[in-house]
């Protein structure tokens, strides 16, 4: 055993103080960038269609539709068979649930093939849901890492090219805790590393939930969570050019929202991103959680119209904000499919215009200087 002061043999000498690590193969990096380029297209965004069967229970109960696999298939088929030219004009990629990857249309066409025919990139939600974080006060982490490598390899073979994983953070006087932020950042980094090794682009989603805080407290938490996340992503040697960040906008809590205009939300959201997200990240996509359908569009438009440094494309990855109108129109009635598709495409068009900062008042969304 060597002791302090013993001489080292030449073979024990370290040629550089920098720790060596295995870099991704150039061909793998190129493939990841190619997938990103297909997803990140000006004027297009993502449709989040990865609701679990249990999540559908509540949504179908609201419209009086039985929550069966066939009805879930019919609903998603209704969305995916909307006018091809318009669908592919506004939507570049769709996040799917495991069930949907292996479903077929009523005409026996795989739903994933239906998306490919529309030049839309299929992706898959791979986390297995929230679980309590031990030693924390009512905070969560996300499970699903155990067999993720095998699942990603299989999903890639079956036609999916990107993945999504969500961790959540709550805002209070004592949360998110350092434990929750560091633990979830490591979970997200490990997830991203596994997915990139399987030739899939990871969408990394550290969702900060909308609670009762003010917007300045929200900004503080966003900055802290994202700073820790990107430090740990670098420690895990994540290829930043081959990932996508999915975040919530910086919003004031529900009780404090009346004084926050879209312009204020845009200013705070961009401040958080500019201070924490490296320019190497090829895109930032926003979720619509905690917002009405209208606000999700107005706030996205304000972010893209806001003057300031924005080194990343800023677009949408919406679930309910794209689907609510279509779901309420459809109600499981085959005779309402075309009307529901028209409602879905109208929402997609508005989100597309907002992603360019080009939303006009006459587009059917009222504009407001304040709330």
* pLDDT recorded at residue 254: 66
With b for 16 or more beta-carbon neighbours within 10 A and e for fewer, the 207-233 pattern comes to bbebbebbbebbbebbbbbbbbbbebb
Q: What tens-digit pLDDT sequence spans the chain (371 residues)?
A: 444 444 444 444 444 455 555 678 999 999 999 999 999 999 999 999 999 999 999 999 999 999 999 999 999 999 999 999 999 999 999 999 999 999 999 999 999 999 999 999 999 999 999 999 999 999 999 999 999 999 999 999 999 999 999 999 999 989 999 999 999 999 999 999 999 999 999 999 999 998 788 999 999 999 999 999 999 999 999 999 999 999 999 999 865 556 689 999 999 999 999 999 999 999 999 999 889 999 999 999 999 999 989 999 999 999 999 999 999 999 999 999 999 999 999 999 999 999 999 997 555 454 443 33
Residue 237 has what DSSP assignment? T
- Positions of E strands within 222-330: 244-247, 284-286, 314-318
Instruction: Report the catalytic residues.
Output: 205, 246
Instruction: Indicate the average pLDDT of the chain.
Output: 91
Which residues pair with residue 141 across a beta bridge?
A: 131
CA 133 vs CA 74, 159, 194, 236: distances in Å:
37, 33, 22, 22
Rounded-to-5 percentages of helix, strand, coil across the chain: 50, 15, 35
What domains appear along the chain, each with residue ranges and CATH number?
31-356 (3.20.20.70)
Distance between CA atoms of residues 41 and 98, nearest Å: 25
Cβ atoms within 10 Å, residue 264? 18
Distance between CA atoms of residues 336 and 329, nearest Å: 7
Q: Name the token pair of 310.
A: 């924005």
CA 167 to chain centre: 11
pLDDT tens per residue, range 181-205: 999 999 999 999 999 999 999 999 9
Helix axes 262-276, 215-235, angle to 10 degrees: 30
CB 163 within 8 A of CB 195: yes
Q: Which residues contact 261 (CB under 8 A, 6 or more apart)?
A: 302, 368, 369, 370, 371
């Amino acid at each position: 055993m060597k002791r302090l002061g013993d001489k080292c043999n030449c073979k024990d000498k370290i040629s550089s103080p920098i720790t060596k690590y295995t870099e991704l193969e150039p061909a793998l990096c190129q493939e990841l960038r190619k997938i990103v380029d297909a997803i990140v297209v000006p004027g297009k965004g993502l449709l989040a269609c990865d609701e679990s069967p249990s999540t559908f229970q509540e949504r179908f109960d609201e419209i009086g539709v039985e929550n069966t696999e066939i009805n879930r298939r019919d609903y998603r088929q209704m969305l995916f068979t909307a006018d091809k030219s318009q669908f592919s004009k506004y939507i570049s990629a769709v996040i799917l649930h495991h069930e949907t990857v292996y479903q077929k249309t009523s005409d026996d066409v795989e739903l994933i093939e239906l998306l490919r025919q529309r030049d839309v990139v299929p992706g898959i939600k791979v986390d297995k849901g929230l679980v309590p974080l031990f030693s924390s006060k009512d905070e969560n982490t996300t499970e699903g890492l155990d067999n993720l490598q095998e699942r990603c390899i299989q999903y890639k073979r079956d036609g999916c090219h990107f993945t999504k994983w969500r961790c959540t953070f709550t805002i209070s006087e004592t949360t998110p805790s350092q434990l929750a932020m560091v633990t979830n950042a490591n979970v997200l980094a490990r997830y991203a590393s596994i997915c990139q090794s399987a030739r899939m682009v990871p969408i990394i989603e550290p969702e900060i939930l909308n609670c009762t805080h003010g917007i300045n407290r929200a900004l503080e938490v966003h900055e802290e969570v994202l700073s820790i996340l990107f430090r740990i992503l670098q420690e895990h040697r994540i290829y930043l050019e081959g990932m996508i960040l999915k975040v919530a906008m910086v919003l004031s809590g529900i009780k404090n929202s009346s004084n926050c205009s879209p312009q204020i939300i845009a200013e705070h959201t961009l401040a958080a991103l500019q201070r924490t997200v490296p320019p190497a990240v090829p895109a930032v996509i926003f979720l619509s959680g905690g917002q009405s359908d209208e606000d999700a569009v107005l706030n996205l438009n304000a972010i893209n119209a806001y003057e300031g440094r924005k080194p990343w494309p800023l677009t949408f990855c919406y679930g309910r904000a794209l689907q609510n109108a279509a779901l309420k129109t459809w109600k499981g009635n085959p005779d309402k499919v075309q009307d529901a598709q028209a409602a879905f495409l109208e929402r997609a068009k508005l989100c597309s215009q907002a992603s360019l900062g080009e939303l006009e008042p006459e587009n059917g969304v009222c504009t407001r200087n304040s709330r």
